[in-house]
Amino acid sequence: MTWLVPLPVVLPLLGAALTLMMARRPRAQRTVSLSVLTVTLLVSGALLWLSTVEGPQVVAVGGWVAPLGIVLVADQLAALMLVVSAAVTVCVLVYSIGQGMADGSEDTPLSVYHPTYLVLTAGVTNAFLAGDLFNLYVGFEILLVASYVLLTLGGTASRIRAGTTYVVVSLLSSVIFLTAIGLVYAATGTLNLAQLASRLDELPDGLRLILQAMLLLAFGIKAAVFPLSSWLPDSYPTAPAPVTAVFAGLLTKVGVYAIIRTETLLFPGGRATSVLLVAALLTMLVGILGAVAQTDIKRLLSFTLVSHIGYLLFGVGLATQLGLASAIFYVVHHITVQTTLFLAAGLIEQRGGSSALDKLGGLAKLSPVLAVLFLVPALNLAGIPPFSGFLGKLGLIQAGVADGSVLAWLLVIGGVLTSLLTLYAVARVWNLAFWRTPHPDMPRATLPRLMVWPTVALVALGVGLTVVAGPLFDIGDQAAGDLLKRSGYVEAVFGGGQ
């Protein structure tokens, strides 16, 4: 069944070509992209099941065996990320179709929207499946180029300004990544992740540290880790709501995924623990303090996004099985919830005519559905029991306490504090936008059904994570065990390609 592995990359790319040819027929475009992403979701689900039952699924592209050719590897972590990202992209696509039909403003998706969106999906899936450092780079480039186009859709002044920052910072991180790839190849003579796992161990300590630091730097920019995070709140909020939602859900998480993959497979043993933990603490606190100061919902959510990347790094930095398992669970939770919140912010903008807190008010009375759709994921993000945000944070805190070092305890305290401040930030949004008397300037808009239902689906998915938390945590735990053992991945790559 390994022929399934390349499909999550190939299908969206074919779909992109098809939708590009159908540029003048929006209805056909919508049908093609929806069906392509639905099939991708099903394939990803099958891959998750296969990788759980049979172990990592490996395909040697073009029939070239492992160290020579490029391999695509779907182990449990990659497959889990595929499933969540596919589910999110389907929902956001429906939402953007709804938004496009609802208003004739500048936010209307143009004919390039569907092809670009599908290319973005292909880049994300390619990065998850890459078994090769250079293929990972290519995956990043695919998704970045698509994201440049989506971020500057329409070419308005504010989007050009935001896009400039985003493009230049991303290009810089790509240059750093490419330099690191050049150095890794010069030092080891291979870029295959499985082969690198053993060859990097033979290098002198200093050289290995340089390579690790450069890769961490490149991925840190993409994942928006604190000292490298200030580009994110500047660039995300100006894009159309569905674009911001899918960026917030997926793009930074691809960076986090790359950090998890390289820190476990290439540089095991937790040598970067203290750096990662300090960065995690600062990311959490600086991010959430930034969120508290904002007066615009989308910017506030962008800062919480940065802040919660800190939790993921916390789990990765601990480098224990429980820490990694909790981080994987938290990634799944955070992709879902952050995307939902941005979609809800888009709905607020649709209903209230603005996303600035001082121009909103009384939405709870005007639109009770919207109030529920915002409140549930907001409480989920803040970590109120019994939502999945609470379970993820609980796992991380347990892992931190089990570690027992001073730094880990500091992070436990920081994590709890960040959770409380998140609650404060979202409660502020609630008080200002949903309570108070309605603002006189607010329009009498209605919410299109196609925008509400995908948001409902994602809210339900976020709540449903609590129901399936047991099995999901088991998958995360197994994946974390495999990541720490390394042997399963390496054997699958060298034994599996035919």
Partner 1 sequence: MTPNLVSIVLIGVLFATGVSMLLERSLTRVLMGMILLGNGVNLLILLGGKAGTPPIVGDGPAEEMADPLPQIMILTAIVITLGMTAFLLALAYRSWAMSGHDEVQDDVEDRRIMELAERDEGSGADDTHDEHGPAGPASTTPHDSDISRDSSTPVVAR
> What residues are paired with 71 via a beta bridge?
60
Locate 386 and state its tokens: 């019994």
Site track 226-265 with partner 1 (rule: CB under 8 A), x = hit: --------x--x----------------------------
The nearer residue to partner 1, 184 or 332, going by C-beta atoms, is 184
On the CB side of 133, how many CA atoms lie within 13 Å of its CA?
A: 29
Binding of partner 1 by 160 (CB under 8 A): yes
Binding of partner 1 by 296 (CB under 8 A): yes
Distances (CA, A) of 168 to 211, 232, 495: 23, 12, 41
Site track 414-433 with partner 1 (rule: CB under 8 A), x = hit: --------------x--xx-
Taking the complex as a whole, the smallest distance from the CB of residue 289 to partner 1 amounts, in Å, to 10
Site track 430-449 with partner 1 (rule: CB under 8 A), x = hit: -xx---xx-xx---------
DSSP state, residue 59: E
Determine how β-strand 57-60 pairs with β-strand 71-74: antiparallel
Q: Minimal CA–CA distance to 440: which of 352, 378, 380?
A: 352
> From the list 155, 204, 206, 404, which residue makes contact with partner 1 (rule: CB under 8 A)?
155
How far does CA 52 lie from the centroid of its chain? 22
Burial grade of 104 (CB within 10 A; 0-12, 13-18, 19 or more): exposed
> From the list 53, 105, 157, 498, which residue makes contact with partner 1 (rule: CB under 8 A)?
157
> From the list 199, 271, 359, 486, which residue makes contact with partner 1 (rule: CB under 8 A)?
359
Q: What part of residues 297-316 is at the interface with partner 1 (CB under 8 A)? A: 299
DSSP state, residue 438: P
> What residues are paired with 442 via a beta bridge?
none
Burial grade of 453 (CB within 10 A; 0-12, 13-18, 19 or more): middle
Distances (CA, A) of 130 to 78, 219, 323: 9, 15, 24
Taking the complex as a whole, the smallest distance from the CB of residue 123 to partner 1 amounts, in Å, to 12
> From the list 72, 88, 167, 228, which residue makes contact with partner 1 (rule: CB under 8 A)?
167
Taking contact as CB under 8 A, which single stretch among the options 84-92, 149-157, 218-226, 463-471 is the one that binds partner 1?
149-157
By the 8 A CB rule, do 323 and 314 touch?
yes
The nearer residue to partner 1, 46 or 110, going by C-beta atoms, is 110
DSSP H helical ranges for 152-204: 157-188, 193-199
The nearer residue to partner 1, 215 or 357, going by C-beta atoms, is 357
> From the list 183, 210, 384, 417, which residue makes contact with partner 1 (rule: CB under 8 A)?
183
Q: Which residues bind partner 1 (CB under 8 A)?
A: 134, 138, 141, 145, 148-149, 152, 155, 157, 160-161, 163-165, 167-168, 171-172, 174-175, 178-179, 181-183, 185-186, 191, 234, 237, 292-296, 299, 356-359, 361, 428, 431-432, 436-437, 439-440
